[in-house]
Chains A and B, each alone.
Chain A
């Protein structure tokens, strides 16, 4: 259609601040119902208990909505954007609706930082997308600082039935400062190793610590791949050595790579590379295999911290 560009509605990204399950069920089901009525493909990635709630509220319409368990898909929040992009890609040329709830009260501080970063990056990743995105936030269970960040990462807010622009939304695009501060310092007894040419030694160290910590063989190998990909970037993109630091935190093994490189693309690793692409796989793989990844980069250097739970999380997709 010649005038489709004129008719196209802009990308919308709404933070939905809810207090009760009844409000949640009615608002999320209403959002999805409106989408289905308009013929828009609908996708909801929310925690399992919320899926039941929304399915009940949608009743017969529920089967037309694609649901995903956000506690699996969004365990590492860096995996969410490519998944939503895949849904939109499957329905190319149509406006899509997406409900995403990546933030819940039980998440760790590091997870909350990365989930908040993900929410901010939605605005970059889908700026030109024909999409309606609704992100529920449990104001009864989440800390006020988390809600404040939701107001910073969402251009629009919906609460108590009222809709409006968020006065705190950051323009131009900015990652909230709560998730870009320097990372907590590793413990003083962390293992540290510098490398310049030998990645085999880096991998052997990671494998040994992963096995000693009790990771399964498969997850130990995942971590080896992730660390090796990040360390390979040191060799590719810098003239100096890199540092590998390994330590255990309660319930998890952490590997960190620091080097003098600079990563400027905030969406790096969050777009699925084409199968025949001859680049762009490194951080994609890191995000796919690690439970959580934190990245800090400026003109002085880059730190990438990779987390693996000792006990494997429930199987993903």
Chain B
């Protein structure tokens, strides 16, 4: 079984399409390049909104965080918005301690992220 799995979908919410990336498993220095490739490919399509669903992510280290921060920079530059949805508590705490949650909006659910 892969340590890290990702699934990408384009979803509509109120007539607005957004990119939904589900990240599950454990994201660390050993697989953050794979995560980077997935995120970069989606960011390159210049979506207005990209939501990363973290509900299936049991662990994230700072290497994986840096991949997300990098995607956020590019989204910012393109005028798009990146949001994170439903992190489990260990991941949510890491986002708080690094203050990444002050840079990237974090929502309790994908539904809230689409509304936000």
Contacts and interface: CB of A to CB of B under 8 A. Distances in A.
A273 B30 CA distance: 22
Interface in A261-317: 272-273, 275-279, 281-282, 284-285, 288-289
A236 B62 CA distance: 12
B65 interface: yes
B28 interface: yes
Interface of B: 3, 26, 28-30, 59, 61-63, 65-66, 69-70, 72-73, 89-90, 93-94, 97-100, 102-103
The 5 tightest CB contacts between A and B, nearest first, are A281-B62, A221-B90, A232-B29, A275-B99, A275-B103
A232 B61 contact: yes
A276 B102 CA distance: 10
Contacts of A273: 98
A281 B98 contact: yes
Chain A residues touching B, majority SS: helix
Interface in A129-183: none
A228 B59 contact: yes
15 contacts: A199-B30, A200-B26, A218-B93, A221-B93, A225-B59, A225-B61, A228-B28, A236-B29, A275-B103, A276-B72, A276-B73, A285-B62, A285-B94, A285-B98, A289-B97
Nearest to B73: A276
Contacts of B69: 276-278
B103 A276 contact: yes
A78 interface: no
Interface string A177-207: 0000000000000000000011110010000
Given A224-B90, A289-B97, 6 more contacts: A218-B89, A229-B61, A232-B63, A278-B70, A279-B66, A285-B94
A110 interface: no
A235 interface: yes
A281 B65 contact: yes
Contacts of A278: 66, 69-70
Contacts of A282: 62
A228 B61 contact: yes
B64 to A, nearest CB: 10
Interface centre among A236, A273, A275 (most CB of B within 10 A): A275
A235 B59 contact: no
Nearest to A234: B29
Contacts of A197: 30
A203 B26 contact: yes
Contacts of A279: 66
Contacts of A285: 62, 94, 97-98
Nearest to B101: A275
Nearest to B76: A276
